[in-house]
Chains A and B, each alone.
Chain A
Amino acid sequence: MNCSFSEKISSLIDGELAAAEAREVERHLLTCAECELVRADFLSLRSQIAGFETSLQPAIQNRELQKILSRGEPVPVRGLRWGWATPAIAFATLLVFVAIGFVLYQRSSNTDPEKLVVQVPSPTPSPTIEKRDEPVPEESPKEPKTPERAPSTPSAPKKPLVREPRPGEQFAINNEPPLVTDPAPSTAPERVRSADTQTLTAIHFEKSETLLVAFRNVRLNTREAAGEVAHERKRAQQLVMQNMILRRAADANGDVQTSSLLENLEPILLDIANLPDKPDSNAVRTIRERVERKNIVPLLQVNSAALARALDD
């Protein structure tokens, strides 16, 4: 397509040229075989694309319409069929998250002594092996349910070096190439658990994103506003607890980015969850403005996509 009229041919077949310009291009087409060929090809492409037939079946179309119109209860989002079991599933999900959170918390507190030992600036592997072996069998059976006391249990000479270990440091140390001689049994389950948390976080991000987008689109200038917000409020109530648990897990794993995003998300979810039955338009608008100001929705999209990619890999 070397002729300078090529672009105008595209506009011509779309009827987007002014009358004078269209006449000029038409005149050119009478003399330029290349442009005439371009027009014929463009029109052929048009017929191919316009002739594309959808796979939609009429029965499905009517069913979808009925679903949307008979909206006593929210129509499920993309294939998830909740129905009557919503409260039961929500409760079960909550239990699962609480259990995961508890296990993560307990595990991180039980492993504190060994991390403190690793923080001691001694690069040689032999002392760490010795010190590792000592506290683990002693501490874990005795005080499995008192995580706060775990950091204070190491022996006296190490106390001056002890400070509250930050989760990021723990994670980094755990993931370093192991100094100890038997790393195989401990590394495999670590990876599995990390992937599970990633999956849960990605799902949580997607759900939160859907909620915030829906909340952004809620109508405010009608009497139905309260009813519409009630659905978002319910979703937010379900997501708040998950958010807290995942934030804690991200903290424990040293995933600063995820933790920070969840931290920003949490007050917004709480605000939506705590909206009254008939919320004031200003309250809804304020929350929306905060969502916009903090740029939460794009961040959720980017992070959930990144997590999904990581899981795919």
Chain B
Amino acid sequence: MASEDDEFTMLFQDFYPSLCRFLECLLGGRAPLAQDLAQESFLQLHRTAWGTLPPGEARFWLYRVARNLAINEFRKSHTRYRLFDRVVEAMRPAARNPEQEYETRERKTLVLEMLQALPEDQRTALLLREQEQLSYREIGEVMKVSESKVKVDIFRARASLRQRWSKRAKTAGASAG
């Protein structure tokens, strides 16, 4: 039992931060909700599937469950957590280096805005590829779709983001000029 818990702890330490990051990007930067859903995914894994999954499958299982929970959140009322998220954001301790913090926040906001413009399946596929470095086959396993769909989704997501990026750069250039 102790070894099972040790294994679970290792898995948690390895993947909890990346699962939080994945969910945060998927949910448009709602960090508290992302952490809640990541916790819930691990909780479900511990309660239901831990020990029954083949070796190496737990990671995919986690991302699949986390994505489903996030999709449920999209469907549910979007307003419920917004206020709570704002409160948490307001209560966050001030940055040690405000300039650096500002830059980081700006960059994060930009990435999140661009990602939010993508359809959910393209966003998920791209995040799993770029952040988690999963292969197309593994992404297909998480999303329960074919490899060819993953390939097309990722390409479309990149093409769309590239287009937005260049539009944005042009607009910024025009306003500066």
**Chain A interface, >50% SS class:** helix
Is B165 a contact partner of A218 (Cβ separation < 8 A)?
no
In whole angstroms, how far apart are the Cα atoms of A11 and B162 in the complex? 16
- Please tell me if A206 contacts chain B, counting CB pairs below 8 Å: yes
Residue of A nearest to B104 (CB): A53
- Interface segment, one of A66-74, A144-152, A250-258: A66-74
Is A65 a contact partner of B16 (Cβ separation < 8 A)?
yes
Q: Which residues of A contact B31 (CB under 8 A)?
A: 54-56
Is A49 a contact partner of B104 (Cβ separation < 8 A)?
no
Residue of B nearest to A309 (CB): B77
Query: How many interface residues does chain A have, given as a range?
Result: 35 or more
Is A45 a contact partner of B17 (Cβ separation < 8 A)?
no
- Please tell me if A7 contacts chain B, counting CB pairs below 8 Å: yes
Chain B 12-23 interface 0/1 with A at a Cβ cutoff of 8 Å (1 = within): 110011101100
- Please tell me if B3 contacts chain A, counting CB pairs below 8 Å: no
Is A228 a contact partner of B17 (Cβ separation < 8 A)?
no
Chain B 137-177 interface 0/1 with A at a Cβ cutoff of 8 Å (1 = within): 00000000000000110110011011001100000000000
A71-B46, A308-B76 given; A48·B17 CB < 8 A: no
Question: Closest Cβ of chain B: how far from A5's Cβ, in Å?
Answer: 12
Q: Which residues of B contact A311 (CB under 8 A)?
A: 77
Out of A14, A64, A302, which one reaches B39, CB within 8 Å?
Answer: A64
In whole angstroms, how far apart are the Cα atoms of A160 and B108 in the complex? 72
In whole angstroms, how far apart are the Cα atoms of A311 and B111 in the complex? 31
In whole angstroms, how far apart are the Cα atoms of A206 and B164 in the complex? 36
- Please tell me if B116 contacts chain A, counting CB pairs below 8 Å: no
Is B151 a contact partner of A16 (Cβ separation < 8 A)?
yes
A42-B158, A52-B21, A214-B44 given; A64·B35 CB < 8 A: yes
In whole angstroms, how far apart are the Cα atoms of A10 and B46 in the complex? 36
- Interface segment, one of A75-83, A118-126, A282-290: A75-83
In whole angstroms, how far apart are the Cα atoms of A238 and B162 in the complex? 51
Is A217 a contact partner of B25 (Cβ separation < 8 A)?
no
Q: Which residues of A contact B16 (CB under 8 A)?
A: 56, 61, 64-65
Q: Which residues of B contact A69 (CB under 8 A)?
A: 5, 8-9, 46
Is B35 a contact partner of A60 (Cβ separation < 8 A)?
yes
Q: Which residues of A contact B96 (CB under 8 A)?
A: none
Is B9 a contact partner of A10 (Cβ separation < 8 A)?
no
Q: Which residues of A contact B110 (CB under 8 A)?
A: 48
Q: Which residues of A contact B136 (CB under 8 A)?
A: 14, 16
- Please tell me if B70 contacts chain A, counting CB pairs below 8 Å: no
Residue of A nearest to B110 (CB): A48
Chain B 43-60 interface 0/1 with A at a Cβ cutoff of 8 Å (1 = within): 110111101100000000
Q: Which residues of B contact A56 (CB under 8 A)?
A: 16-17, 20-21, 31, 35
- Please tell me if A46 contacts chain B, counting CB pairs below 8 Å: yes
In whole angstroms, how far apart are the Cα atoms of A56 and B39 in the complex? 12
Q: Which residues of A contact B9 (CB under 8 A)?
A: 65, 69
Chain A 25-56 interface 0/1 with B at a Cβ cutoff of 8 Å (1 = within): 00000000000001001100110111111111
A45-B158, A69-B5 given; A305·B76 CB < 8 A: yes
Query: How many interface residues does chain B have, given as a range?
Result: 35 or more
Is B108 a contact partner of A52 (Cβ separation < 8 A)?
yes
Out of A10, A16, A67, which one reaches B135, CB within 8 Å?
Answer: A16
In whole angstroms, how far apart are the Cα atoms of A71 and B46 in the complex? 10
In whole angstroms, how far apart are the Cα atoms of A46 and B13 in the complex? 24
Is B159 a contact partner of A14 (Cβ separation < 8 A)?
no
A16-B135, A49-B130 given; A11·B44 CB < 8 A: no
Q: Which residues of A contact B35 (CB under 8 A)?
A: 56, 60, 64
In whole angstroms, how far apart are the Cα atoms of A42 and B12 in the complex? 31
- Please tell me if B86 contacts chain A, counting CB pairs below 8 Å: no
27 A-B pairs in the complex with CB atoms less than 8 angstroms apart:
A7-B151, A14-B129, A14-B135, A42-B158, A45-B130, A45-B162, A48-B107, A48-B110, A49-B127, A49-B130, A52-B21, A52-B24, A53-B104, A54-B20, A64-B39, A65-B12, A69-B9, A71-B47, A75-B39, A77-B40, A79-B84, A202-B77, A219-B51, A219-B52, A221-B52, A308-B76, A308-B77
Chain B residues in the interface with A (C-beta under 8 A): 5, 8-9, 12-13, 16-18, 20-21, 24-25, 31, 33-40, 42-44, 46-49, 51-52, 72, 75-79, 84, 104, 107-108, 110-111, 115, 126-127, 129-131, 135-136, 151-152, 154-155, 158-159, 161-162, 165-166
Query: A50-B131, A79-B36 provided; 12 other pairs, C-beta below 8 A?
Result: A10-B154, A10-B158, A16-B151, A48-B107, A51-B107, A52-B24, A64-B35, A64-B39, A71-B43, A202-B77, A228-B47, A308-B77
